Amino acid sequence: MPDVISQLEQIVRDVSGVASDLDPEADLVGRRLIKSVMLLEIISQIEETWDLEVTAQDVYAGHFVSLRAMAEFIQSRS
């Protein structure tokens, strides 16, 4: 999972412009590191990178709150 988290961190940093390292447990939306439009771009990149389909229900279920939650979601779908 560390490799997936590293890839996700790079995606989030590219989309959000955050230069510092990200805590895998941090609430990215709650801490206002990413906004809703950015989240859509992150999800799009996740779908493309891991060949997944993300539904609105997946987003509402909290799978995109943190890097760790995203990684666990990706691994559950792989």
Longest dimension (CA), the chain: 30
Under 8 Å between Cβ of 74 and 52: yes
Does pLDDT of 44 surpass 80? yes
CATH number of domain containing 36: 1.10.1200.10
Q: Is 25 helix (H, G, I), strand (E, B) or coil?
A: coil
Does pLDDT of 27 surpass 80? yes
- The token duo for 7 is 């890839």
Q: How many domains does the chain have?
A: 1
Q: What pLDDT score was predicted for residue 36?
A: 85
H-type alpha helices, the chain: 2-16, 36-50, 56-60, 67-77
Does pLDDT of 29 surpass 90? no
Q: If you search the block for the tokens 């990178």, which residue do you land on?
A: 49
Does pLDDT of 20 surpass 90? no
Nearest alpha-carbon partner for 62 in 51, 47, 73, 76:
73
Domain range enclosing 12: 2-77
